[in-house]
């Protein structure tokens, strides 16, 4: 804990607190145009105009100081100084949405009444202008009794003014609130309405863009079809748009491998670099374009305001499995990664609802599974179209995602009937106005994802693969025996293989299963390493792509069973860790891992036996 | 008339809310959204593809979504604004 003055950003959900936090501290907190993006306290540093540092905290949005969900609880605890090990903030910056003043002022008045030194950031004035509203910050300041600064957080407008006001605030004495209305909800609301009316100096009727777009996107039939179509295009695009850049990356990886062969003498160092590092990690890195395309879509959904619409559209269906449409947002986020998805369930107020959502979040196909799907699909599914420009590979990819979603819904339904039985909660949600994302924000978002992915490849994936390479390279196999089977890793895999042989898995897969718990992508690098090691002296084999080599060694039934397995399992260590933290214990974590493994086993088995019966072996 | 029966895009205001039909936290959230007796509302969209879906409505300057069960607890009257609101404000 630092001794710096502590300033907290508070306000309603989606007011632009995190955007302001980023603009003031240079941080890169996640933004999204839907309520409930920030779910935990995040601290950063800001220098006042005279250079003095101040600690700024970004908090989850909330509508009042009476929390109804775990994320709102955090905000209340921080503001009231009840958070364990944390000081109470010395000052508040209340962020209000200028285009929704009546509502946001109500909470602002409640906060001002706490008596802390306070500034109001009248944010999103650009949106208010779009809506035909003209506001007077001075009137607002006079009525509220605190400084009010107009800002446009995403365009960094009004920041200097805000810093100046903060300066004054940190120097001056706190001014106690003089109003007495703060404890009577209806009085505060009336007061908020009155002040909002006074502050709006002009209101010109404007086109209601959001309502017009929603007439289509929220239409009972069209809206649902558009949602499906969006997901379909998303997964098609992952395959079809990525092929050119992926080929280029593959070319680079191959060239790097050749460079290693040409510069280093044959021997252990050469083998290590070629098989364990370039071959293994390279096999994962070529999936960077696919992952970026996926994130492009997710970022678009988050930034435009469509997430809340998806929740609206899915609510009726989610209600049938005992959840609320709200839960669809964490699930959609889990397409990126289950860890933030599970964190996002903090916005769900009902504990049983929340637990159920946590338990099914890992069923959503996270981006780490993309390389596994991608590898198997490109090896075993022909790259042809099935008409109307729809690629077969993309279609299979889409079906795997749908398989995950349907699996999650069925699991939720079963859980709600048994272990997480309880009254299903309602669906109450604010629908944000649509916004068109700015290209530079999208690019920065994608850049961040690329860095995260490459860091993963360079750390956990590389590390796991190195360990695997060592275990696979020793002891050296005698002639005529496959190295991958004779080695330590091979023997361990042999043990696992007894368990998974009935569901069609071979030794390569058994080898990949354990290390892929560290990170799912390791399944790909592990298989690549197995083949590189076994092909050691076979120059021709090395020239073949990984997919081609797979075709020679796996039956289609085995490949399909492997895919089915990966829809459900394994859960990576980070998912298990975050589940433990969010469910506060091992009980539900163990349950989650257990039921998903069982599901994975059964799904893979059914797939294998069906495929074999159909003669696909 | 209940909010569920209010025709789309017809200005109305809240006449009565049956708080007992809502859980305390739902009631609180609705209040925080600005729903109270006298507030202006406008039903915008009825959702639901498989079964009856939620309702999106405008409350003040905000668009909110709620389930039909919640909307059924809200009685509305058509018209631009409650007559005695002006004088109260
Ligand atoms: N047009 C406009 N958009 C803004 C402004 N400030 C933030 N936004 C956008 O509004 C959305 C919400 O911003 P956030 O900063 O995530 O809001 P928040 O208050 O942190 O929201 P929660 O974390 O959910 O409580 C994002 O899509 C931002 O890009 C602004 O001044 N003008
Ligand atoms: Mg935020």
The 10 Å CB-count burial string (b at 16+, else e) for A329-339 is bbbbbbbbbbb
Q: Which atom of ligand 1 is nearest to the CA of A11?
A: 19
Q: How far is the CA of A34 from the centre of ligand 1 (A)?
A: 8
What is the arithmetic mean of pLDDT over A441-464?
89
> For ligand 1, atom 11, which residue shows the shortest CA distance?
A33
Ligand 1, pocket-test mutation among A127, A153, A300, A303, most atoms within 8 A of CB: A153
The two tokens of residue B9 are 């895009």
Residue A583 in contact with residue A355, Cβ under 8 Å?
Answer: yes
Angle at A248 between CA A246 and CA A254, to 5 degrees: 100
> Would you call the peptide bond into A353 cis, given omega within 30 degrees of 0 as the criterion?
no
Greater confidence (A210 vs A328) lies with: A328
User: Could you give the percent of chain A with pLDDT greater than 70?
Assistant: 96
For B89, the closest of A63, A185, A193 (CB atoms) is A193
The rounded mean pLDDT for chain A is 88
Cβ contact, residue pair B60, A100, below 8 Å: yes
Residue A33 in contact with residue A304, Cβ under 8 Å?
Answer: yes
Neighbours of A473 (CB within 10 A): 22
The pLDDT of residue A244: 84
**Strand order across the B74-78 sheet:** A428-431, B62-66, B55-59, B40-46, B12-17, B74-78
Q: Is B10 part of the contact surface with chain A (CB cutoff 8 Å)?
A: no
Cβ contact, residue pair B45, A186, below 8 Å: no
> Would you call the peptide bond into A570 cis, given omega within 30 degrees of 0 as the criterion?
yes
**CB contacts, 8 Å: B29 with chain A:** 63, 68, 428
Beta bridge partners of A92: A8, A118
Smallest Cα–Cα separation from A5: which of A61, A105, A88? A88
Place of tokens 């501290």: A25
Ligand 1, pocket-test mutation among A44, A154, A161, most atoms within 8 A of CB: A154
Any atom of ligand 1 within 6 Å of the Cβ of A338: no
What is the spatial distance between Cα A74 and Cα A586, in angstroms, rounded to a whole number? 23
Question: DSSP string of A503-517?
Answer: GT--HHHHHHHTGGG
Q: Is A189 part of the contact surface with chain B (CB cutoff 8 Å)?
A: yes
Give the ligand with the smallest distance to the CA of A42: 2
Any atom of ligand 1 within 6 Å of the Cβ of A93: no
What is the arithmetic mean of pLDDT over A565-578?
87
- Residue B3 pLDDT exceeds 80: yes
- Strand extents, DSSP E, A166-227: 200-203
What is the arithmetic mean of pLDDT over A7-26?
95
How many Cβ pairs within 8 Å bridge chains A and B?
A: 122
Q: List, as ranges, residues 47-76 from B with C-beta within 8 Å of A.
A: 47-54, 56, 58, 60-67, 69-70
Q: How far is the CA of A32 from the centre of ligand 1 (A)?
A: 6
What is the spatial distance between Cα A197 and Cα B33, in angstroms, rounded to a whole number? 18
Q: List, as ranges, residues 50-69 from A with C-beta within 8 Å of B.
A: 63-64, 66, 68
What is the spatial distance between Cα A311 and Cα A45, in angstroms, rounded to a whole number? 35
Any atom of ligand 1 within 6 Å of the Cβ of A123: yes
What is the arithmetic mean of pLDDT over A176-203?
78
The two tokens of residue A341 are 């998805």
Tell me: the pLDDT tens digits for A236-283?
A: 888 778 878 888 888 888 888 888 888 888 888 888 888 878 888 888
**CB contacts, 8 Å: A431 with chain B:** 56, 63-65
Q: How far is the CA of A132 from the centre of ligand 1 (A)?
A: 19
- Residue B85 pLDDT exceeds 70: no
Q: Which atom of ligand 1 is nearest to the CA of A35?
A: 24
- Residue A542 pLDDT exceeds 60: no
**CB pairs under 8 A, 24+ apart, for A124-130?**
A124/A15, A124/A16, A124/A97, A124/A98, A124/A99, A124/A152, A124/A153, A125/A98, A125/A150, A125/A151, A125/A152, A126/A152, A126/A155, A127/A97, A127/A98, A127/A99, A127/A433, A127/A435, A128/A98, A128/A99, A130/A99, A130/A206, A130/A209
The pLDDT of residue A209: 81
The rounded mean pLDDT for chain B is 85
**CB contacts, 8 Å: B50 with chain A:** 316-317, 320
Tell me: the pLDDT tens digits for B27-62?
A: 999 999 999 888 899 999 998 776 688 999 999 889
The pLDDT of residue A468: 85
- CA-based end-to-end distance of chain A: 62
Any atom of ligand 1 within 6 Å of the Cβ of A127: yes
Cβ burial, residue A222 (10 Å; 0-12/13-18/19+): middle
Neighbours of B10 (CB within 10 A): 12
Q: Is B45 part of the contact surface with chain A (CB cutoff 8 Å)?
A: yes
- Residue A425 pLDDT exceeds 80: no
Any atom of ligand 1 within 6 Å of the Cβ of A99: no
Q: Which domains does chain A have, with CATH numbers?
A: 6-206 (3.40.50.300), 225-425+511-613 (no CATH)
| Backbone torsion region of residue A350, taken as left when φ is above 0, otherwise alpha when ψ lies between -120 and 50, otherwise beta | beta
Kind of pairing between the strands at B12-17 and B40-46: antiparallel
Q: Which atom of ligand 1 is nearest to the CA of A124?
A: 31
- Residue A506 pLDDT exceeds 60: yes
> For ligand 1, atom 30, which residue shows the shortest CA distance?
A124
Q: Which atom of ligand 1 is nearest to the CA of A151?
A: 31
Cβ contact, residue pair B61, A100, below 8 Å: yes
In a 3-state reduction of DSSP, which class is residue A184?
coil
Cβ contact, residue pair A320, B31, below 8 Å: no
Residue B73 in contact with residue B18, Cβ under 8 Å?
Answer: yes
Residue A14 in contact with residue A98, Cβ under 8 Å?
Answer: no
The pLDDT of residue A538: 57
> For ligand 1, atom 7, which residue shows the shortest CA distance?
A16
What is the arithmetic mean of pLDDT over A62-76?
93
The pLDDT of residue B16: 92
What is the spatial distance between Cα A47 and Cα A54, in angstroms, rounded to a whole number? 6
Any atom of ligand 1 within 6 Å of the Cβ of A94: no
**CB contacts, 8 Å: A66 with chain B:** 28
Cβ contact, residue pair B34, A103, below 8 Å: yes
What is the spatial distance between Cα B72 and Cα A72, in angstroms, rounded to a whole number? 27
Instruction: Read off the pLDDT band of B89 (50, 70, 90).
Output: very low
**CB contacts, 8 Å: A219 with chain B:** 45
**CB contacts, 8 Å: B51 with chain A:** 316-317, 319-320
For B28, the closest of A68, A189, A426 (CB atoms) is A68
Tell me: the pLDDT tens digits for A345-376?
A: 999 988 999 999 999 999 998 888 888 898 89
ipTM field: 0.91
- Residue A412 pLDDT exceeds 90: yes
- Residue A520 pLDDT exceeds 50: yes
C-alpha count within 13 angstroms, C-beta hemisphere, residue A490: 18
Instruction: Read off the pLDDT band of B86 (50, 70, 90).
Output: very low
In a 3-state reduction of DSSP, which class is residue A391?
strand
Cβ contact, residue pair B89, A197, below 8 Å: yes
What is the spatial distance between Cα A453 and Cα A519, in angstroms, rounded to a whole number? 11
Instruction: Read off the pLDDT band of A70 (50, 70, 90).
Output: very high
- Residue A71 pLDDT exceeds 70: yes
Name the residue in chain A with its Cα closest to that of B8. A215
Question: B3-81 has which fold?
Answer: SH3 type barrels. (2.30.30)
Cβ contact, residue pair A430, B56, below 8 Å: no
The pLDDT of residue A482: 77
Tell me: the pLDDT tens digits for A105-138?
A: 999 999 998 888 999 999 999 999 988 899 999 9
Any atom of ligand 1 within 6 Å of the Cβ of A445: no
Residue A141 in contact with residue A7, Cβ under 8 Å?
Answer: no
Instruction: Read off the pLDDT band of A301 (50, 70, 90).
Output: very high
Instruction: Read off the pLDDT band of A541 (50, 70, 90).
Output: low
- Residue A431 pLDDT exceeds 90: yes
User: Could you give the percent of chain B with pLDDT greater than 70?
Assistant: 85
């Amino acid at each position: 804990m630092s001794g710096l003055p502590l300033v907290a950003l508070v306000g309603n959900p989606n007011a632009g607190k995190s955007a302001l936090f980023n603009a003031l501290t240079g941080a890169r907190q996640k933004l999204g145009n839907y309520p409930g993006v920030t779910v935990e306290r995040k601290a950063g540093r800001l220098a006042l105009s005279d250079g003095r540092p101040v600690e700024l905290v970004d908090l989850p949005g909330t509508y009042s100081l009476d929390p109804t969900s775990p994320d709102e609880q955090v905000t209340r605890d921080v503001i009231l100084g009840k958070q364990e090990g944390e000081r109470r903030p010395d000052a508040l910056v209340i962020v209000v949405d200028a285009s929704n003043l009546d509502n946001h002022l109500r909470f602002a008045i409640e906060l001002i009444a706490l008596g802390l030194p306070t500034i109001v950031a009248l944010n999103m004035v650009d949106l208010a202008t779009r809506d035909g509203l003209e506001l007077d910050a001075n009137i607002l300041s006079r009525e509220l009794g605190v400084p009010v600064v107009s800002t446009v957080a995403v365009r960094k407008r009004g920041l200097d003014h805000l810093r100046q006001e903060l300066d004054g605030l940190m120097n001056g004495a706190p001014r106690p609130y003089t109003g007495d209305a703060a404890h009577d909800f209806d009085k505060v609301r009336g007061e908020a309405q009155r002040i909002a009316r006074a502050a709006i100096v002009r209101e010109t009727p404007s086109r209601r863009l959001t309502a017009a777009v929603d007439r289509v996107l929220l239409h009972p039939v069209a809206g649902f079809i558009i949602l499906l179509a969006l997901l379909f295009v998303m997964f098609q695009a992952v395959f079809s748009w990525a092929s050119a850049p992926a080929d280029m990356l593959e070319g680079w990886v191959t060239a790097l491998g050749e460079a290693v062969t040409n510069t280093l003498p044959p021997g252990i160092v050469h083998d290590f670099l070629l098989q364990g590092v370039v071959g293994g990690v390279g096999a994962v890195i070529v999936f960077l374009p696919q992952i970026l395309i996926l994130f492009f879509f997710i970022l678009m959904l988050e930034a435009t305001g469509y997430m809340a619409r998806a929740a609206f559209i899915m609510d009726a269906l989610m209600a049938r499995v005992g959840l609320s449409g709200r839960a669809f947002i964490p699930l959609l986020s889990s397409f990126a990664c289950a860890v933030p998805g599970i964190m996002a369930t903090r916005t769900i107020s009902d504990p049983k609802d929340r637990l159920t959502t946590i338990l099914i979040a890992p069923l959503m196909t996270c981006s780490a599974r993309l390389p596994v799907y991608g590898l198997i699909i490109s090896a075993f599914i022909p790259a042809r179209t099935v008409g109307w420009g729809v690629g077969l590979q993309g279609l299979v990819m889409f079906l795997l995602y749908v398989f995950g979603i349907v699996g999650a819904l069925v699991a939720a339904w079963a859980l709600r009937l048994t272990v997480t039985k309880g009254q299903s909660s309602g669906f109450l949600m604010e629908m944000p106005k649509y916004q068109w994302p700015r290209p530079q924000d999208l690019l920065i978002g994608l850049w961040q994802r690329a860095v995260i992915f490459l860091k993963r490849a360079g750390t956990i994936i590389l590390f796991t693969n190195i360990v695997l390479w060592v275990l696979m390279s020793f002891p050296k196999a005698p002639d005529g025996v496959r190295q991958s089977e004779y080695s330590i890793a091979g023997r361990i895999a042999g043990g696992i293989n007894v368990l998974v042989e009935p569901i069609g898995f071979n030794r390569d897969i058994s080898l990949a299963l354990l290390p892929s718990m560290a990170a799912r992508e390791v399944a790909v690098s592990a298989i690549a390493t197995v083949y590189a090691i076994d092909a050691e002296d076979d120059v021709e084999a090395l020239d073949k792509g990984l997919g081609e080599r797979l075709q020679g060694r796996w039956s289609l039934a085995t490949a399909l069973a492997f895919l089915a397995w990966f829809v459900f399992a394994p859960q990576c260590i980070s998912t298990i860790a975050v589940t433990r933290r969010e469910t506060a214990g091992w009980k539900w974590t163990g349950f989650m891992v257990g039921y998903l493994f069982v599901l994975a086993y059964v799904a893979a088995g059914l797939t294998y036996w069906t495929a074999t019966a159909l003669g696909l072996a | 008339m209940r909010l569920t029966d209010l025709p789309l895009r017809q200005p109305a205001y809240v006449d009565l809310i049956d708080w007992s039909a809502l859980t305390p936290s739902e009631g609180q959230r609705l209040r925080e959204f600005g729903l109270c007796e006298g507030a202006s509302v406008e039903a915008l969209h009825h959702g639901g593809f498989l079964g009856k879906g939620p309702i999106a409505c405008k409350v003040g300057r905000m668009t909110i979504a709620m389930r039909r069960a919640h909307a059924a607890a809200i009685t509305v009257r058509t018209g631009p604004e409650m007559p005695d609101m002006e004088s109260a404000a």
